[in-house]
Amino acid sequence: MKKTQINDLLVQNILRYGNIGIHVIDKDRKTIIYNEAMAELEGLEIFQVLEKDILEIFPSLNEDTSTLIKVINSGQPILNSTQTYFNFRGHSITTISSTIPLYSGEVIVGAMEIAQDVTNLRKLSDQLLELQQELKVNKRDSKRSTQIKRYTFSSIIGNNKTLVLAKEIGERASETPSSVLIHGETGTGKEMFAQSIHNHGVRRNNTFIAQNCAAIPDSLLEGILFGTEKGGFTGAIEREGIFEQANGGTLLLDEINSMSLSLQAKLLRVLQEGYIRRIGGLKDIPIDVRIIATTNEDPRAGVDNGAIRRDLYYRLSVINIHIPPLRERLDDLQLLIEYFIKKYNKLLNKSIEKISDQVRNDFSNYDWPGNIRELENFIEGAMNMVSSKDKVLNRENFITSNFIPKTSNAENNMIGQLTKNSLPELLQDIEEKLILEMMGRYNNNITIAARHMGIKRQTLQHKLKKIDETQ
């Protein structure tokens, strides 16, 4: 089969079976492609839409409100917009959609809208906000803590010099309202630090809310952060965001480096001006929230590679805390092992005293990509395997935890690959992976991705074409 035939089949199958809605119109506004997923979303049948003028099918739209027509007229894409609307079957639907002009050379020949159904996500995020609201009300009523775990600095185990320094900075930070930026790999204790800072300071009796910025699409995150005002256009209901909910308290923004640059700009404005405005709202609401942000990559590298806005970085990193990964503080290994053995002896009713020499050796030669969390999970897993009389944790007890002692580090892996591939092949492979990752990060916007890679748009286009041909 020819490559073009394969491509055709591929496109047909994606259109038919993919769960992303696709609607393509030509420049005369006639629908030329309308797939099952889009029909399902909009509550229509494909035949009702195909070949028809878009304003005929959607009489409530006009030249200014139809995104497809707007894009044809302006030639500019509209990316990642969230909409909540009632579809033709009367269901309330929330979508994230992008509308892109289709060019043939310099001439616009049509426009394509791709839409993803995020109704369930929207419901979940609404539920989350409601639960947080309830917790806050409960707290007000009963003075109970809103948190399940309340960490303090004394819960953070370790005598390693860098860790002790980080704890000292954290303790001092808890006495001020300044923003804190915590940098550490996964499982190093960023959340423990953030909670400790909150619980040690004057805000301890107010709300602490943690929000992960990577798990939720950007357009929903904005509503979660700032709240929404009743709006016909967005279909939103009136609700306060977590900035308002955490007023007087602390807001932990986890994985800030995953937040889109445009939302980062909005966050910066809020931090500088000290008030928020709900989406669709007109009122400025003053807020007093202590921000603790975390990132799992070096924040300066994040700034350099375009994941973190430089101005926001300066604003957040008034106080910087770096938590070292476990492999850089193996001097704490013994202390941590003892601590977790004690913890799980109590929880699981066991009487373990130590780990075997062999396991100790394995542990000190391991990289610990999941850091303290990983260590804790290994020990908990192994302690589930022993009897209540056992005194020592042996290698056999760790079989369920996927524990593979370090055999090679990343460098060795690369050198290992060189025995299979030539240097140009390996470099080509790395380049492809980086390009595809950057394209994903910048929503396939070639101009912006190229700018962040420091290469010309045409160069990137050329490279993408080559990647496409080899795949």
Contacting positions for ligand ATP (CB under 6 A)? 156-158, 184, 186-192, 296, 372-373, 376
Smallest gap from Cβ 373 to ligand ATP, in A, equals 4
Smallest gap from Cβ 364 to ligand ATP, in A, equals 18
Smallest gap from Cβ 215 to Mg ion, in A, equals 11
Cβ–Cβ under 8 Å, residues 201 and 174: yes
Query: What are the tokens at 186?
Result: 């996964």
Query: What are the tokens at 441?
Result: 């990060």
236, interface contact from ligand ATP, Mg ion, none, CB < 5-8 Å by kind: none
Based on CB atoms, which residue is closest to Mg ion, 210 or 341?
A: 210
Based on CB atoms, which residue is closest to ligand ATP, 191 or 338?
A: 191
Based on CB atoms, which residue is closest to ligand ATP, 138 or 159?
A: 159
170, interface contact from Mg ion, ligand ATP, none, CB < 5-8 Å by kind: none
Closest CA to 192 of 63, 323, 67, 2: 323
Name the 3-class secondary structure at 261. Answer: helix
The angle at the Cα of 198, spanning 197 to 199, to the nearest 5 degrees, equals: 95
* C-alpha dihedral sign at 298, 303, 306, 310: positive
Can you tell me which residue has the tokens 């699981």? 348
Cβ–Cβ under 8 Å, residues 326 and 335: no
When binding is defined by CB under 5 A, the residue of 191, 297, 380, 432 that contacts Mg ion is: 191
Closest CA to 327 of 362, 365, 295: 365
DSSP letter for 332, please.
Answer: G
Based on CB atoms, which residue is closest to Mg ion, 278 or 290?
A: 290
Based on CB atoms, which residue is closest to Mg ion, 183 or 190?
A: 190
Smallest gap from Cβ 433 to ligand ATP, in A, equals 23
Smallest gap from Cβ 66 to ligand ATP, in A, equals 42
Residue nearest to Mg ion (CB): 191
The angle at the Cα of 266, spanning 262 to 269, to the nearest 5 degrees, equals: 140
234, interface contact from Mg ion, ligand ATP, none, CB < 5-8 Å by kind: none
Residue nearest to ligand ATP (CB): 189
Based on CB atoms, which residue is closest to ligand ATP, 156 or 307?
A: 156
Q: Does 297 bind Mg ion (CB under 5 A)?
A: no
Closest CA to 224 of 349, 290, 126, 101: 126
Smallest gap from Cβ 373 to Mg ion, in A, equals 9
Other C-beta atoms lying within 10 Å of the C-beta of residue 295: 24
376, interface contact from ligand ATP, Mg ion, none, CB < 5-8 Å by kind: ligand ATP
270, interface contact from Mg ion, ligand ATP, none, CB < 5-8 Å by kind: none
Is beta strand 290-295 parallel, antiparallel or unpaired with respect to 180-183? parallel
- Integer CA distances (angstroms), 352 to 357, 389, 390, 393, in order: 14, 8, 6, 7
DSSP letter for 306, please.
Answer: T
Based on CB atoms, which residue is closest to ligand ATP, 186 or 305?
A: 186
Smallest gap from Cβ 346 to ligand ATP, in A, equals 14
- Burial tier of 407 (Cβ tally within 10 Å: 0-12, 13-18, 19+): exposed
Based on CB atoms, which residue is closest to ligand ATP, 72 or 372?
A: 372
Smallest gap from Cβ 264 to ligand ATP, in A, equals 19
Based on CB atoms, which residue is closest to ligand ATP, 24 or 253?
A: 253
Count, residues near Mg ion per rule CB under 5 A: 2
Cα-to-chain-centroid distance, residue 201: 28
Smallest gap from Cβ 372 to ligand ATP, in A, equals 3
Site residues (CB under 5 A) for Mg ion?
Answer: 190-191
